[in-house]
Amino acid sequence: MWAALRRFWPALPVLLLGIWAARLDHLRSTYREQLIECRSARQVDRVSGERDVAKAEAGFAKQRADAAETYAQSAQAREPLIVRSTNTVREYAQTDAGRAQCLGADRVHGIDEFSAALFAGHSTGTGSGNARVPADANASPTGR
């Protein structure tokens, strides 16, 4: 037996290297299978993640469109009514909305009469603030 060992001892390291290489090949194939499984799981996660992102973006786009429409409606409701001619006023006054906003001539005259009656007791004298400032600062103002 010792004679056979002495004769084939150079084959022993080659045999050990072969066993070691086979073990490395087995480990490499196992790691490769795990990597493929991990990548396929990531691919599924990526597809579902992209789907979720697309849903979120579509929801955000719809939200922006709804907000723009709401803003446009509120801006249109706030637009002032610009009257450019007497005929426009007459035509608007004939509509239901115009009747509510436009005052009749008798109501306008009534407001003028109310204002005249309200301020009837006040006279415009020299103490009303329309007089000039006196040249002498020590002189008393007139009308007091």
Digitized pLDDT (tens) for each residue of the chain, 144 residues in all:
778 778 888 888 899 999 999 999 999 999 999 998 888 888 777 778 888 889 999 999 999 999 999 999 988 888 776 666 777 777 877 887 776 666 666 666 677 777 778 877 765 555 556 666 656 656 555 544
Domain assignments of the chain as residue spans, ordered by start: 11-79, 80-119
15: its two tokens = 């045999």
Residue 143 near residue 126, CB atoms below 8 Å: yes
- pLDDT, residue 59, reads 93
- pLDDT, residue 43, reads 79
Three-state DSSP class for 16? Answer: helix
Residue 142 near residue 126, CB atoms below 8 Å: yes
By the 10 Å C-beta count (0-12 exposed, 13-18 middle, 19+ buried), 89 is classed as middle
Which amino acid, one-letter code, is at 5?
A: L
- pLDDT, residue 105, reads 61
Residue at token pair 């008798």: 106
- pLDDT, residue 144, reads 45
- pLDDT, residue 123, reads 58
47: its two tokens = 């597809």
HSE, CB side, 13 Å, CA atoms: give it for residue 42.
6
